[in-house]
Amino acid sequence: MLSNIKFKNVVFDFQQKRLPVYKDKIFLEKLIVARYMVSLWSHSAKADEGDLKKIEKSMLNDMLNYLFEEDNLFHKYKKYKKNIRTFLKPIFYSPIPLPKIYKFIQKRKDLANLFYEDACSFVAADARVSKSEKKFLDKLSKELNLYTMDKKILDHKYSINHSQWLKAI
């Protein structure tokens, strides 16, 4: 995981700016999780096979900010917010491939529901769910080995299965 060139570059960047956080193993683990999370956001936003919509770009900024709120991934690293956002935002436009994301989450079962819920929120951001987006979420839930009841609860929360919202592409 730490051998990834981009990841090494960000550690180097944090070193160059004399930010001591690059030595913090918990921070580095969270940064790894965030890379995969932002990559999944990207794939979810593009699941309708269309261009990114204004609402999805806006949502990216909101979600990145949310990572720094109380009890979230980087809430203890708020003073590095600008650096972390600068590292994560480009990942949205050049994401990790889905098979690698699946593999990562399969190893971290504790993240499956969180990642699936984030995917649902991006898919439902434009207030409608297309057939291709529904198919994307169905495949994602299978790849993440999500429990059926957890999937149903999250699908219901984001109105994923409301047939009047499913639009053919």
d(C-alpha 24, C-alpha 21), whole Å: 5
Confidence of residue 11 (pLDDT cuts 50, 70, 90): low
Residue whose token pair is 């030595």: 23
d(C-alpha 36, C-alpha 15), whole Å: 22
Average pLDDT in the 25-51 region?
Answer: 88
* Cβ contacts of 72 within 8 Å, gap of 6 or more: 66
Report the pLDDT value the prediction gives residue 10, as an integer from 0 to 100. 53
d(C-alpha 147, C-alpha 167), whole Å: 26
Average pLDDT in the 72-90 region?
Answer: 90
More confident residue, 159 or 66: 66
Average pLDDT in the 134-159 region?
Answer: 85
- Estimate to the nearest angstrom the gap between the alpha carbon of 133 and the chain centroid: 16
DSSP strands (E only) in the chain: 129-130, 166-167
Helices (H) and strands (E) in the chain, counts: 8, 2
Angle of helix 81-93 versus helix 5-16 axis, rounded to 10: 160
Report the pLDDT value the prediction gives residue 15, as an integer from 0 to 100. 56
pTM reported for the whole predicted model: 0.81
DSSP strands (E only) in 76-123: none
